[in-house]
Amino acid sequence: MISPKSKPSLPSIVEQAEAELQALGIETGRAEWVRSTYVTTDTSELAALAETRDLRATAQWARRLRSIDLTELSPVEVRKCDRIRVAQVLWAPNDLRDADELPRRISSMEGTYATWHYRPREQSERLDLEGLSRILSDSRNPELLGDVWEGWHQLGATIRPDFERYVTLANHGARDGGFEDLGALWRSRYDMDPREVDRVVEGLWREVEPLYRLLHAFVRLRLSEGYGKTVVREVGPIRAHLFGNMWGQSWRSLLPLLSPSSPTAPQDLTKTLVERGTSPAEMVRYGERFFVSLGLPALPSTFWERSMFVRPQDRDVVCHASAWAVDTRDDVRIKMCIEITEEEFRVIHHELGHTFYQLAYRDQPYLFRDGAHDGFHEAVGDTIALSITPEYLVQVGLLDQAPGPENDIRFLLAQALEKVAFLPFGLLVDRWRWKVFSGEIAPADYNPSWWDLRLKYQGMEPPTERGPEAFDAGGKYHVVANVPYLRYFFAHILQFQFHQALARRTGWDGPLHRCSIYGHPEAGESLLSMLSLGSSRPWPEALELVTGGRMMDAGPLREYFRPLESWLRDQVGSAPIGW
């Protein structure tokens, strides 16, 4: 830790801080990896201890560096000081007991989340989130869907006491660090005034909201025809258990109910992968080969030795897919319980986007080994996933022949059910938490306010009446794990900006949704120029390297879905739009 007797020169203060935080970051990364892949009381305790040391040291260095004269530092050192200040998504409170308790509360919530099971009606065994999600995706029995949805969301009431205490402790830390509350700390990570972030978010949402409302109206119309008007009304919100996803953030599993007729049999990538006996490791190899085709180096051997691709049979693990740079340089890994499905095929490309980003900036100083902002990190892999077109699948031997343009609407509808459907959820999770952290939403109003926002932005309501004693936000991993969520909203905007710009680098002049950048190193060169910067420069400069512009813009997303938008208007006709 920092020695009070040490009085090094100003530049060496920054260097000393960076060295100590790197060592602690590696220690914490290893402890968190073990906690996530071996969920026990002991591993949770060890991870909490490591996180406590890391949080304390970061907060101590940030406080010390705030007191020095920044005019005596170089611009690089000034930026490093700022990165230390906002490096963590938590600040350790000054009170040592609070500083010890905060990571333990989060670890307790994560442990409860990872081990929660529920036995649905007519089932012989209790199921985890993976098993419950499979029922939501596959079943068309509204009573069973409602039971599964409510069974998972019982988790929230169990987690709620930890969450309330976590809010108090996290706000103590943020205020000790000079922020208004934890939400203000999170918004300070975007190279702009925290108050400006909400304005930017609202502007982007207004650009995409008409497309979302049109998609919602179409889905409501089709679900009402399929389930009947007593289950899905022709006007108003849709009940949240009917979207095939626990949080209504992806509607892709509804595609068979919604899809237009096709002159050719629809592509079934899941069936192809299963019939070929594709292993989880082979699924990951497909993703690696995509990045290599862009001119990026292959993954290190340690990635294959240390990653977790399959759910172990002998222990509890956190199956939520994630990418790790454990030593912040070469020891990169992913953690997934891979199933052989089209959805997992895409998720793998997303996670490898993180991995190749981590490798691209590994030669930056430790404090700059991060994305330009967290939305960039999420967007890279999703940009690559947009290139998983039928033409790409033909190139890699997973499809014999790409369907013609007559199948484009079905393809775009599938994309919209995932990408467009996500946008309001990606927005509201943090808007709700910002109000919780600021005190605008009191604990008694946690659940009513959660559903107020879900109604406002998603046009959804719960399957049954949910009283204030429930805590449905606690059924989302990112809420209990203290993971900011706005990054995913930004990523769903940025990925289309990146895709449009990279498509142009290849000389593509056709419909944006049919372009794949696979095998185009000129696109990879442009992408790598941005990735290698890490967080060493403000994000508008990184964005400019790929897109030529310095603002996040939803225009490319609207361009991508323009053919579908016209089709949806024809399908909806005079039916009501909105709720």
Q: Which two tokens stand for residue 227?
A: 């389930």
CB-CB contact of 367 with 83 (8 Å): yes
Rounded CA separation 571/494 (Å): 29
Q: First-to-last CA distance in the chain?
A: 56
Specify whether the CB–CB gap between 25 and 367 falls below 8 A. Answer: no
Distance, CA of 422 to CA of 216 (rounded, Å): 11
- What's the DSSP call for residue 241? G
Contact predicate 432/486, CB 8 Å? no
| Backbone φ, ψ for residue 322 (5° rounding) | -155, 155
List residues bridging with 332 in a β-sheet. Answer: 325
Displacement of CA 308 from its chain's centroid (Å): 19
Q: What are phi and psi of 333, to 5 degrees?
A: -150, 160
Residues 562 and 214: their CA atoms lie apart, in Å, by 12
Q: Are 95 and 172 in contact (CB under 8 A)?
A: yes
Which run of H or E residues covers position 67?
none
Tell me how far apart the alpha carbons of residues 221 and 155 are, in angstroms, rounded to a whole number.
32
Q: How far apart are CA 46 and CA 40, in angstroms?
A: 10
Give the integer Cα–Cα distance in Å for 434 and 449. 12
Phi then psi for residue 249, to 5 deg, are: -90, -15
H runs (alpha helix) in 141-236 = 142-153, 155-176, 182-187, 194-227
Q: What is the DSSP letter of 127?
A: B
CA atoms 162, 164, 168, 174: torsion sign: positive
Contacts of 136 (CB under 8 A, 6+ apart): 145, 148, 149, 241, 244, 245, 246, 253
Query: Annotated catalytic sites, by residue?
Result: 320-321, 350-351, 354, 378, 478, 488
Cα–Cα nearest to 460, from 240, 148, 147:
240
Q: Which residues contact 96 (CB under 8 A, 6 or more apart)?
A: none
Q: Rounded to an integer, what distance in angstroms lies between the CA atom of residue 228 and that of residue 240?
A: 16
CA distance 262 to 281: 33
